[in-house]
Structure 1
Amino acid sequence: MSLGFKVSGRIAKPVADVFDAVVNPTKLSGYFTTIKGASAPLVAGTTVTWWGDIPVEVDEVVPQRRIVLRWDGGGADAKPSYRTRIEMNFEPLEDGATFVTIAEEGWREDEAGRKRSYLNCEGWSQMLACMKAYLEHGINLRDGYYRSELKGEPAREDNL
């Protein structure tokens, strides 16, 4: 069994707007991949980069329904390297809002895997909160949020 988690949140915007805020690199860079942005739209079968140097493999994109991604799960220290799987689901609600669920799984059951899974759970929770603020109010909550940003250092994986 591998480690995994699931986070969810309601965003008071139509599913088309919320989905676009993830697949559109300009929008994603406005609230989540704020340092060095996202390199390209999420299209199934492609690899994009987030934060300038983190490869994200796009396995599946079902418009306004689901996105499935894979990326490095273990970091530079993991031998051999391995990928975790991220699934984002977008559910339209009766009031016109969208319920977003993000699940990530596939870490090794060791101390390093637990630590990375906790960091990513924190990161995806922040992503949902930042997306909500950005879409509902035009606010970028991540601007200046991390110490590395304050010092002008490059983004790090644990700053997701």
Structure 2
Amino acid sequence: MTLSIRISGRIGRKVEEVFDAVVNPQKLSSYFTTVGGASAPLVAGTTVIWWEKAPVEVKAVDPNRRILFHWDGGTGEDGSRYRTEVEMTFEALDDGGTLVMIAERGWREDEAGRHGTYLNCEGWTQMLCCMKAFVEYGINLRDGFFLSEMRGVPAEAPDR
């Protein structure tokens, strides 16, 4: 068994607009990968760089339905690096909104793996909240959020 997380939330826009906010690097860089951005669109079979240092290996993109990618899960207690799998699903709702679900799995069952699940659960929750604010209202919640940015030091990518 491996450790995993899953979060979800409703965005009050059509599924096409919400999906585009993730696969489109200009939009994603406007609310999530704000420091360093996203190097390219999410396209199956490609590797995209987020935050100038985090490779995202895109495995599948089903337009307006699903994105699947692998990325660095961290370092295990034995010192070896490993990857986790992230799956984002997008469900059109009857009210015109979109249900977004983000699941990440594959952390090792050790202290470092438990720490990674906690950090990424926080990170994905923040991403979903930031996406809602950006897609629905054009607001970048991350602007000025990180203390390092307030001190003039570029924010680091999540500890991967």
Calculate the TM-score normalised by the size of structure 1: 0.95
Q: Please report how far the alpha carbon of residue 98 of structure 1 lies from its aligned counterpart in structure 2 after TM superposition.
A: 0.2
Q: Percent identity?
A: 62
Matched, 1:82 2:82: yes
Task: Look up the match of 2:108.
Answer: 108
Structure 1 residue identity aligned to 2:106:
G
Q: Please report how far the alpha carbon of residue 152 of structure 1 lies from its aligned counterpart in structure 2 after TM superposition.
A: 2.7
RMSD (Å), alpha carbons = 1.7
Task: Look up the match of 1:11.
Answer: 11
> What is the alpha-carbon distance in structure 2 between the residues aligned to residue 23 and residue 59 of structure 1?
13
Alignment CA distance shift 1:75-1:38 (3 Å): farther
Calculate the TM-score normalised by the size of structure 2: 0.95
Q: Please report how far the alpha carbon of residue 158 of structure 1 lies from its aligned counterpart in structure 2 after TM superposition.
A: 3.1
Task: Look up the match of 1:44.
Answer: 44
- Aligned partner of residue 123 in structure 1, secondary structure: helix
Structure 2 residue identity aligned to 1:63:
P
Aligned length in residues:
160
Task: Look up the match of 2:56.
Answer: 56
Q: Please report how far the alpha carbon of residue 154 of structure 1 lies from its aligned counterpart in structure 2 after TM superposition.
A: 3.3
Cα deviation digits, residues 29-56 of structure 1 (max 9, x gap):
0000000100000000100000111111
Q: Please report how far the alpha carbon of residue 153 of structure 1 lies from its aligned counterpart in structure 2 after TM superposition.
A: 2.5
Task: Look up the match of 1:142.
Answer: 142
> What is the alpha-carbon distance in structure 1 between the residues aligned to residue 77 and residue 148 of structure 2?
21
Cα deviation digits, residues 9-44 of structure 1 (max 9, x gap):
000000000000000000000000000100000000
Alignment CA distance shift 1:79-1:159 (3 Å): closer
Task: Look up the match of 1:92.
Answer: 92
Greater alpha carbon shift after TM alignment, 141-150 vs 110-119: 141-150
Task: Look up the match of 2:119.
Answer: 119
Structure 2 residue identity aligned to 1:74:
G
> What is the alpha-carbon distance in structure 1 between the residues aligned to residue 13 and residue 137 of structure 2?
11
> What is the alpha-carbon distance in structure 1 between the residues aligned to residue 38 and residue 156 of structure 2?
14
Contact 1:57 1:70 in 2 (8 A): yes
Gaps of 5+ in 2: none
> What is the alpha-carbon distance in structure 2 between the residues aligned to residue 159 and residue 144 of structure 1?
19
